[in-house]
Amino acid sequence: MSARLEAADESAALELLHELGCTDGLPVVVPTPDRVGRMALAMGLDGELSLGSMGPNLGDCTVEKVAACAVMAGCLPDHAPVVLAAVRAVLEPAFDCTEMQATTHAITPFVIVNGPAREACGPIASGFGALGPGFRANASIGRALRLAMINIGGGRPGVSDMALLGHPGKFTMCLAEDEEASPWEPLHVARGFAPEDSAVTVVGTEGPHSVIFVGDADDPTAPDRLLDTLAGTLANVGSNNAHFGRGSGVVLLNPDHTHVLAAAGYDRAGVARALWDRAANPRARMRALNPSMIPDGDPDTPWRAFRSPDDILVVAAGGSGLYSMVVPSWGAGPHANPAVSMRIDHDQACAVPFGPRGG
Amino acid sequence: MRDGVNLARRGVPAVALVSSEFWAQGDFIARSVGMPDVPRVCFEHPVAGAGVETMRRVALAIRDEIVSALRGKAS
């Protein structure tokens, strides 16, 4: 059982949580025992079950504690299975949560949701403005993960979360793939899940960078121009990826831009391959900027931003128009910042009694 | 939509052309600037990058509707 705090009333409880550093700086829903109990039921697991330890303070990540963070974030019980899957993904050793929390770089788990859970546990937005404000599931699921990293993992700015500046996506960063508008198989299917499965794919990223591209159906070079524009942003010379030559890159393609590439015969893997090949800078250019970080060698050889096409996640999302997005990453840690996918078990939840005071 | 409203307020016959993805936004703008019934015609999205042939087809498809709107026979 998690520790209990006492407060005179809801307002006092909220102030106490702020004072103890348990919030992200914004008001939270006070995690009363009955609210947390209902959220834990929606997770379909025993509240005392430990999912693992979360760094850097190696906090015991029990289902009950994750449920408390989901309540604080404003989640509905419907969102709980996605929160649970995202937390489990972050706890995977390959995610390097401890190192990610401690780094001076600005990085946060970006949660991408696929499969029927997009509706069953949401709706989780994937179209116009999906990474912005206005979507409760997106906002609260990503925020629940952050609150878990604060309260269970112990990430406190300037003490254990050493990001020099951080970024706004550290409050929350979650969207669904727009599978219906995508010309390709869903991301989770490309990563080995069945179409009827639901999954989160979580990857530590910087904030998203907009990429403008105006297509032209009459211009046969349009697909190449689009790929070059995306690749140039993936390999922007200020990024860790451009220097370290590793990490993950996420490319969020709007429906117009996926259409340009699909019409040219590209499948999802083909897009990733083309981007990997083009996301590079001349070694001499990178050495001139940061000589201590780039080994000496043939100055004209391309210094690639990624080790493999598999490190570039191509995701269909956003509204129809000129803008797609590239999301660079960290590229450090023992496992070099891979994406981690985790099944969402959204058919395991217990019936959640309707609470007398709501969520 | 705002251009259509501004022209109409100056007494210039105008019809706003709004792509389908922005139709709801067009309604919102028309209401917010106080001319909810400003004439408008919906056409298929997207415009950017659609190519000359597609735009010619789209223009032909809404030509009569634009004229009707200018004559006050459509909203």
d(CA A99, CA A92): 13
* Nearest chain B Cα distance for residue A229, angstroms: 16
* Nearest chain B Cα distance for residue A7, angstroms: 45
d(CA A87, CA A299): 43
Identify the sign of the CA torsion A131, A136, A141, A142: positive
pLDDT (0 to 100) of residue B73? 67
What DSSP element (H or E) covers A11?
helix A10-19
Chain centroid to Cα A121, Å, comes to 17
d(CA A315, CA A298): 34
d(CA B38, CA B70): 10
Smallest Cβ–Cβ distance between B51 and the set A216, A320, A321 belongs to A216
* Residue B16 β-bridge partners: B40
Taking only the tens place, the pLDDT of each residue in B30-56 is 998 899 999 999 999 888 888 899 999
**Which amino acid does the sequence have at A12?**
A
3-state secondary structure of A280: strand
d(CA A202, CA A179): 17
Q: Which of B23, B25, B28, B45 should one mutate to test binding to chain A, selecting the residue with the greatest count of A CBs within 10 A?
A: B45
- Complex ipTM over 0.90: no
* pTM of this prediction exceeds 0.90: yes
* Ordered mean pLDDT values, 10 residues apiece, chain A (359 residues): 90 97 97 95 93 93 97 97 97 95 95 97 96 98 98 93 94 98 97 97 97 92 97 97 96 97 97 98 94 90 96 97 96 93 84 54
* Nearest chain B Cα distance for residue A242, angstroms: 30
Structure tokens at A290: 């940061």
3-state secondary structure of A170: helix
pLDDT (0 to 100) of residue A358? 42
Smallest Cβ–Cβ distance between B48 and the set A128, A214, A218 belongs to A214
* Residue A342 β-bridge partners: A200
